[in-house]
Structures are given as structure tokens and as C-alpha cells.
Amino acid sequence: MNTKYFTIIAFMLFVSGVFSTHAQNRLDFLLNTLKDGGKSDYVMIFAHRGDWRNAPENSLQAYKSCIDAGFDGIEIDVQMTKDSIIVMMHDQTIDRTTTGTGKVSDYTWAELKDLKLKSPIGVITRQRIPTFDEVLELAKGRILIQVDKWQPIKEKVIEVAKRHGCLEQIILRGTTDSKHIAKTYGKLLDGVNYIPVLVCKGEGDDEKLDDFMDNIKTSVISLSFTRDDFPVIDRAKEIKDRGFRIWYNSLWAEFNGGHDDEMAMDDPENSYGWLLKKRANIIFSDHPFLLDAYLKKIGRR
């Protein structure tokens, strides 16, 4: 082996090792932070459908933008094709976001893969519908992945995530009680980050919260509320003191009593600031760049 060839091989091995170490360090940070019970001031950002304001929703471009920005998680929507390939699509149909029409489940992957995605204002782009496999390879070791619409295809989601070695990066959320979870999923959720969501109603909220904290293996509790005066919201300090991070959804008013991303554009203190006063340390946002700038300004990232 000549010296030049040996040098090239050595350099390639070195670069590969650097990237691998960086990815592992990043994943360690994400998982340690997710499970630290909110002991640090760091607020995690999860981007709804990726950076969909600047790229087609649920596109690789939208996800890569979030990875490059250093966000902590992306939310993805999954549907399954006629030939059992998981693809990224919020709706059951492809009409709204692609150049095609009809149900995802009526198409094979070969029939879908050449369609083009549309931008948020309906402009046809060069982006294509990604598969779950492609998203996992893009995100591996780099960002957490909250999978939405997972219940109908739960076994397949877990199978694919395991195959790519990404199971610990996956986050699944649900609103059901501990007995239903145990009966429905059994050991299927082992190794996955499962987050229970308390949809506040005003009655029965305390009992549901106690069930989540006492009986579900999780590091995060999520609260969703149409009004900001539900008494259970004032238990946020207790939730944190019990060792859970608290996840709030800032997408639109029905999830946060009006303290949403739209309000944050003009009045961030009464939007993101209000959520932080209620002990938020994970925020699920439609405006992740706006949220990131605000959190950095106040020293929370």
C-alpha cells in the first residue's frame, strides 16, 4: 500500500470517527436533558411538522432545517402506503400537500415517490414525500423525533425504528390512562420515550394527573388546556418537583388557553413567558425560530 493511499484511508476513518462521536454526544445531551426532570434551565424546542413555514411540511428539507438550527425535536406525521411503507403525511389524503390526489393507503410507495410536495402557500417544489426510513437516517443521533398518528400502525413504527437503531430517539404521546396503556400496548413501548398528555377538562383532571405520575413510566408530563384557569395547571410545580419535565403546546389557542405562537409574535411575555411561569421546559411550537430567539434572549437556551 503506497503512502498516499494509506493517508487517504486514515483520514476517512478519522472523519468518520469524529462524526460518529459528535452524533453520540448530541444524542446523549438530548436524552439526558429529556430525562433530567427539568433540573436545568434549558428549555427544549420541538418543531411542529419541521420548519414548515420555510419548507413543505413533513419534508426532509423542513426537518434538516430544524437539525441545522439545533432544535431538540421534530414532530412528524405518519401514514402507511398500500404496500406497508411508512411515509410522512399529515392527512390521510395527499391532495392538500402534493401534486397527487387520493388516499395514501390506496397507493404503493413506487406510485407516490415521484410526486412533488407543495409549499405552505401551495407552490409546487422539488421536495418529495419522505419515507420513515429516510427521516430516521437523516435524524439519527441528531434530533429527537415525536411521531404523531402512530397508533394505527404502532407495530410497524416500532419495527422500523428498531431496524435503524433509533428507538431511543422516538417519542410517542397519548391521552389514555395507565390501565389502557398496559392493556393495549403491553411491552411494545419498552425502549420508547412515551409521554402522557393530560387534556384538561376542569373535572377529573387531578385524578388523571395522579394516575400519569404514579403509574406511567415517563420522564415528561404534557398538559393541554382550552382555558388557562383550570386548577390542575397550578400543580405544575408539584409535577416538576416529582421529577418530570413539563411539555406545553404553543401551536394554537385550544391547546394553551390562548398563550400561543400567534400571540408570541406581538406579546412573547404573555405567550412563551406565561408558559415558562407555569414551569414549561419543553415547548412544542409552530414558530420554533421565534421561540428559540426568545429563549436565548432570556438565557433559557
Under a CB-based contact definition with an 8 Å cutoff, are residues 235 and 201 in contact?
Answer: no
Under a CB-based contact definition with an 8 Å cutoff, are residues 41 and 296 in contact?
Answer: no
CA dist 35 → 62, 157, 191 (Å)? 26, 22, 13
- Rounded CA gap, 47 and 66, in Å? 7
Under a CB-based contact definition with an 8 Å cutoff, are residues 115 and 99 in contact?
Answer: yes
- Rounded CA gap, 45 and 42, in Å? 10
Q: Which three cell numbers stand for residue 286?
A: 409552530
CA dist 294 → 45, 53, 163, 256, 277 (Å)? 12, 18, 38, 18, 14
Q: How many CB atoms lie within 10 A of CB 96?
A: 12
Residue 82 sits at φ, ψ, to 5 deg, of -60, -30
- Rounded CA gap, 75 and 51, in Å? 10
Strand partners, 170: 145
- Rounded CA gap, 98 and 300, in Å? 38
Secondary structure (3-state) at 162: helix
Give the residue numbers marked as catalytic.
48, 90
Residue 247 sits at φ, ψ, to 5 deg, of -105, 120
**Cα within 13 Å of Cα(155), Cβ side:** 3
**Pairing relationship of beta strands 124-128 and 116-118 according to DSSP bridges:** antiparallel
